[in-house]
Structure 1
Amino acid sequence: MTAATTPADDIGELRQRLARLDTAALSDALDSLHAPPCVLPGIRPRTPGTVACGPAFTVRYRPLDHDTRGFRNAADYIDEVPAGSVVVVDNGGSTTCTNWGSLLSTVALHRGLSGTVVHGSVRDVTESRAAGYPLFSTGVTMVSGKNRVVLDRTGASVDVGGTTIDPGDWIVADDNGALRVPAALAGEVLRRAEAVDRTEARIRAAVLDGSRLDAARARFGYARPWEDGGRDDGR
């Protein structure tokens, strides 16, 4: 089921469990499924130590026709974003102007959004960090998007460096970067990523208890950690 058709309680549980995992475990799980490209290339954390996790609300910009007269706001869409969503903004990775600032972070926090990923630039990072808002982007600049870009549309598929994101796909971003979990695979990716976490925890515990790393990896199924294999019987 997609996020749009999954019951709210199930979405809440899925979000809580996904948010407890790091993107490394999720990436391993996606690899095991031979999923299409899911990493969002070039996306970096602007509020270190935070996690964005939720269904994607997609936003696409286009350059403003410079012959246009009068003031043109960059966009007004934030009031339509459902709580718990991750806003995914596509401005083609441009570093020439911003698509997110502190005012949007304030509104997003107030509305209960889970975070923002910008394929482009953001500004006012000090304020977003102070507020603890999960913010990720390609670049940072002080230059406003006003009178430079306009909203193309919301709710459409966007391309972030070759990775297609459809509305409702799950986005998880942390200090490692950002990735997409296709909505149709979210449940299976979660199951496998949790198994990866358990496998690595067992290997770590065994090494700290005196085991050789190669022996611990062999014992607990490091080659296929999503299968949750190996032995806990001490042999």
Structure 2
Amino acid sequence: MTTAAPVAADALRERLSRLDTAALSDAMDSLRTPPCVLPGITTRTPGSIACGPAFTVRYRAIDDATSFHNAANYIDDVPAGSVVVVDNGGSRTCTNWGSLLSSVAQHREVAGTVVHGSVRDVLETRTAGYPLFSTDVTMVSGKNRVVLDRTGAELDIAGTPVRPGDWIFADDNGALRIPADLVEEVVRRAEAVERTESRIREAALGGARLDEARARFGYARPWEEGGEDEQH
């Protein structure tokens, strides 16, 4: 028996870009997965989407304040198409991302950044259209306050694990993590959820009762597309 080849990252990204976090969350609920939401993460570039495999970055507070400490140099190592996921423990005291990093990341075709902590230079990043998401915003620099602990580590984002290579999707609703080994099935189910909800909406706007449209098109299990119009 042959096994289907994994879907290429570019094809997954294209399909994901037509979805949203709501449909993806419903799909993951149907699989009864561990927590997927990255709590407290908010868009700083409204209307943008960050979608791609996670490149993980972890910070720690400095131990030595007697000499200059740059916050981090890692951006040149981030592969194009990745989403940078930064963990500074949700800190509101200093930043871990600013417009310089946004400019370089955008130039290198990084897919976006999610920061469990604070960012700054929001206007510049928003104007450039770079997808940026964070717990908070402050103007205070991370220099001489935090340093890079390591990249490529498993992170704990307020209770949600993020491993390198897990897929990250963030939009105006927030941010979530999709385990790498489930991403193809999650996308398939999320697409089915979208189709089911489109059929319900079309029927309701066409004059049907909403409760009847939901029952007709399988609202209780939308990832199965089990409505009466579905052909088997």
TM range (shorter): over 0.9
Partner amino acid, structure 2, of 1:62: R
**TM-score, structure 2 length as denominator?**
0.95
Q: How big is the shift at 1:232? A: 3.0
Secondary structure of 2:223's partner? Answer: helix
Matches within 5 A, 1:33-44: 33-44=31-42
Measured in 1, the distance between the counterparts of 2:24 and 2:59 equals 29
Matched, 1:171 2:168: yes
Match of 1:226 among 223, 227, 231: 223
Pairwise mapping of residues 16-27 of structure 1 onto structure 2 (< 5 A)? 16-27=14-25
Give the partner amino acid of 1:125. Answer: V
Structure 1 alignment gaps of length 5 or more: 1-5
Using the alignment, how far apart are the partners of 1:112 and 1:228 within structure 2? 36
Gaps of 5+ in 2: none
Q: Give the superposition deviation at 1:228.
A: 1.2
Partner SS for 1:16: helix
Secondary structure of the residue that 2:8 maps to in structure 1? helix
Deviations 1:25-62 (A, max 9, x none): 00000000000000000000000000000000000000
Of 78, 91, 109, 2:75 maps to: 78
Distance 1:41 1:197 in 2: 24
Q: Which residue of 2 aligns with 1:182?
A: 179
Whole-Å separation in 2 of the counterparts to 1:22 and 1:52 = 11
Give 1:152-167 correspondences, 5 Å limit. Answer: 152-167=149-164
- Partners of 2:221 and 2:140 in 1: how far apart? 47
Deviation at 1:114, TM superposition (A): 0.5
Q: Which aligned segments of 4 or more residues in structure 1 are displaced greater than 4 angstroms?
A: none
- Residue 213 in structure 1 maps to residue 210 in structure 2: yes
Identity of aligned residues (%): 75
**What secondary structure is seen at the aligned counterpart in 1 of 2:55?**
strand
1:38-187 correspondence runs (5 A): 38-65=36-63, 67-187=64-184
Cα displacement string for residues 114-173 of structure 1 (whole angstroms, at most 9, x for unaligned residues): 000000000000000000000000000000000000000000100111000000000000
Distance in 1 of aligned mates of 2:62 and 2:226: 55
Q: Output the TM-score relative to the length of structure 1.
A: 0.94
Q: Distance in 1 between matches of 2:158 and 2:97?
A: 19
The superposition leaves residues 59-113 of structure 1 with CA deviations (integer Å, 9 ceiling, x where unpaired) of 0000011x44221100000000000000000000000000000000000000001
CA–CA distance in structure 1, aligned partners of residues 65 and 196 of structure 2: 58
Match of 1:3 in 2: none
